[in-house]
Amino acid sequence: MKNLITSRLTAFLCTAVMVLGLTACGAKITGLSLPAGAVLEKGETLQMDLQYNTEPQTDADALAEAAEKLELIWTSDDETVAAVDENGLVTAVGAGETTIRVTARGGELSGSCLVTVVVTARDLVVPDTLELVTNGQNSANLNAAATPEDATGVTFTYTSSDESIATVDETGLVTAVANGEADITVTLTQAFPIATGETATAESARQPVTLTATTHVTVTTAVERIELDKTEGVLTVGSTHKIKAAVLPDTATDQTLTWTSSDERVATVDASGEVTAKKAGSAVITASCGDVSAQYNLTVQNIKCSYCGKTGHISSNCPTKAADEAAAAAAAQAAAEQAAQQQAATSGDSSTPSNDPPVGSSGFDDQYGSWFVTESHDWTQDPSNGDNPVIVK
Ligand SMILES: [Zn+2]
């Protein structure tokens, strides 16, 4: 406490001495003056231009002498925005506003300057691409940002190249409308404040900044489900069935179906959904499109013969049927031959072709140079016997 009183007393004495001194020199500083305002870029420095208000008829030398004796105290209301050193050199620290003050004679004299610190945008950052679906995640914000992040006074505007594909609102929210592609153009505009006491046309006024960037938006429709005409069926070995499948909604961008069989020994399936039954058993046929799938539960049965009732073959391949048919054919053949022989024996029918003379016929034998009559004829019963020579070979 004693030290505080002592220092206050010292300050009072000094001030008293200074006032006397200035008065003695005939030059009295009656006020301090700083520019009303200044706009600084973050990181920039500015030497404050301090002006002294004096009594009339103060010459330059006297003023300089008086000013030298004046103890100035420089302060900033917010040192996170701008700092000032003991010589009035201001350094811009961060975006914002602060008042730089200079005082003397314990506050009797003072001046101030409103300092605005700005940060100029160097770049505009938006996503290169944005993917949306009409069903599900159908909107997203571009989150356009300036760099550096603390750029001051920036505004963004948005336009879509095709609003039938995607729209964008004033906050940068993009909403899918229909399948397709569109570009969203973002424009960053940065305006700077005018220093207090200056005009927009002042040389020191900062020019607005404009930056643009584009995001390419792709809108698709996701597959919701696959619809099969049937979800189960029974096939016999060797037969085929084509499963009809539809990817829904019909606007789904990906309509590609992939078919798989849970057991290819039982049944296979081709790219068109055609199932071929291979072996008795069960298999699950799956149709897939992306992450979505549908299943067809297949049962494969052995084929059953309608002729013999056994499995494993159909009647056209039935061994029993074949054997029965062969036996029947042989019996029919034998009966036919027997009938033909009986007919020939009674009618002398020579319809059966042969290298030998027909049974019961007669002719001229080249080998023997004589006429013959075949042996089987029963000449004893033939009343024409006496008219024909009998040749025995
Ligand atoms: Zn059979």
Does pLDDT of 186 surpass 60?
yes
How far does residue 326's CA lie from ligand 1's centre (Å)? 15
Q: What tokens does 235 get? A: 């096939």
Give distance in angstroms: CA of 245 to centre of ligand 1: 36
12: pLDDT strictly greater than 90: no
How many Å lie between the centroid of ligand 1 and the Cα of residue 322? 9
Q: Is the pLDDT of residue 14 over 90?
A: no
pLDDT the model gives residue 301: 93
Q: How many angstroms separate the alpha carbon of residue 283 from the centre of ligand 1?
A: 27
State in Å: Cα 304 to ligand 1 middle: 8
Residue 15 pLDDT class (50, 70, 90 cuts): very low
> What does pTM read for this prediction?
0.63
Q: What is the pLDDT of residues 121-133, one digit of tens each?
A: 999 999 999 999 9
Distance 328 CA to ligand 1 centre (A): 17
Cβ neighbours for 25, distance < 8 A, ≥ 6 positions apart: 62, 65, 66
The pLDDT of residue 161 is above 60: yes
The predicted pLDDT at position 360 comes to 52
Rounded to an integer, what distance in angstroms lies between the CA atom of residue 179 and that of residue 166? 9
Confidence of residue 384 (pLDDT cuts 50, 70, 90): very low
Q: How far is the centre of ligand 1, averaged over its atoms, from the C-alpha of 302 (Å)?
A: 13
Q: How far is the CA of 263 from the centre of ligand 1 (A)?
A: 28
Q: What is the DSSP-derived secondary structure letter of residue 379? A: G
Asked if pLDDT for residue 226 goes beyond 60, the answer is yes
Tell me the CA–centroid distance for residue 232 and ligand 1, in Å. 28
Alpha carbon of 198 to ligand 1 centroid (Å): 110
372 — pLDDT class (breaks 50, 70, 90)? low
Mean pLDDT, the chain, integer: 85
The whole-number average pLDDT for the span 160-181 is 98
> pLDDT (tens digit, 9 = 90+) per residue, 281-306?
999 999 999 999 999 999 999 988 89
CA atoms of 213 and 224, how far apart (whole Å): 34
Could you give the CA distance from residue 234 to residue 267 in angstroms, rounded to a whole number?
A: 11
Say yes or no to pLDDT of 22 above 60: no
More confident of the two residues 65 and 240: 240
The string of pLDDT tens digits covering residues 189-205 is: 999 999 888 877 777 77
Q: How far is the CA of 325 from the centre of ligand 1 (A)?
A: 12
Q: pLDDT, tens digit, for every residue of 69-92?
A: 899 999 999 999 999 999 999 999
DSSP run (H or E) holding 16: helix 2-25
pLDDT of residue 16: 43
What is the C-alpha end-to-end distance of the chain, expressed in Å? 174
278 Cα: distance to centroid of ligand 1 (angstroms):
19
386 phi and psi angles, rounded to 5 deg:
-65, -15
- Gap from CA of 205 to ligand 1 centroid (Å): 104
The proportion of the chain whose per-residue pLDDT surpasses 90, expressed as a percent, equals 65
Ligand 1: distance of its center to the CA of 277 in Å?
20
pLDDT confidence band for 371 (50 / 70 / 90):
low
Report residues near ion ligand 1: CB below 5 Å: 305, 307-308, 318
Going from the Cα of 323 to the center of ligand 1, the distance in angstroms, rounded, reads 10
